[in-house]
Amino acid sequence: MTVIDVTEQDFQREVLDRSRTLPVVVDFWAAWCGPCRALTPALEQAAGRREGKVVLAKVDTDANPGLSQSFGIQGIPAVKAFRDAAVVDEFVGAQPPAAVERFFDGLVPTEADELVAAGDEASLRRALELDPGRGDAAAALARLEYDAGRPDEALALLENVTGSFAAEGLAARIRLEAAGDVDVAPAFSALDAGDHERAVDLLVAQIPGAEAHTDDLRRAVVAILDELGVDHPVAREGRRRLAAALY
């Protein structure tokens, strides 16, 4: 575990310059501070679990008043995370270990994060073993299953995913294609070809005459709009057209 003591003389090198390569978490503390001593084990354990991916630096505020003043330290323990020589996250006061872990998770990718980023089938399955609730991993793996011609397996992966528009959209697509009584093939062909606007237009056009499939058509459209982002012109117009078709 990389834990270093930092002073005013080497803060630039050890924290700011180093943070351009690795995130650096700085613990502003003092020997007389009881909450500081309570927080230290949680910080060290969290850093130790991310060996080689983060540095924990400790600044004695009594011995380095200039640093305390520079960073506006008014109460300790104060913890600041640096990336690219700037503060990217912080908290004040002793925190429970779970909160400290979440703080570090925001700075350093977890093993599951890295597996999802890899994106291959084996990595995605391992990510779900580590974190069964990861909607992004389930959605990505389901897409691989779907593209491989296994829609039932894909749908099974998506059944328990919540809070993911991509997952809901893919599940809706699978159900719509299986239903056979609503013409969605041209829309999804357009989507696969990268023509989001045509896909949205064709799916929205199906809504008035397909009451049994309204929810799935809506989910499919919302997934496309979410992928585009709120400011995309196709998304803005798509939201308006979808609302008009539904209400």
- pLDDT bin (cut points 50, 70, 90) of residue 1 is low
Question: Does the pLDDT value for residue 71 go beyond 90?
Answer: yes
- In terms of CATH architecture, what is 3-105? 3-Layer(aba) Sandwich (3.40)
Question: Does the pLDDT value for residue 141 go beyond 60?
Answer: yes
- Cis preceding linkage at 151, omega within 30: no
Q: Which of 33, 144, 228, 245 is catalytic?
A: 33
- pLDDT bin (cut points 50, 70, 90) of residue 67 is very high
Question: Does the pLDDT value for residue 84 go beyond 60?
Answer: yes
Give percent above pLDDT 70 in the chain: 100
Query: What is each CA distance from 31 to 63, 65, 130, in whole angstroms?
Result: 10, 14, 38
More confident residue, 32 or 110: 32
Domain boundaries, the chain: 3-105, 110-147, 163-246
Active site residue 33: yes
Quick one: average pLDDT of 192-202? 96
Q: What is the mean pLDDT of the chain?
A: 93
Q: Which of 24, 26, 36, 220 is catalytic?
A: 36
Write the burial class of residue 2 (CB in 10 Å: 0-12 exposed, 13-18 middle, 19+ buried): middle
Active site residue 36: yes
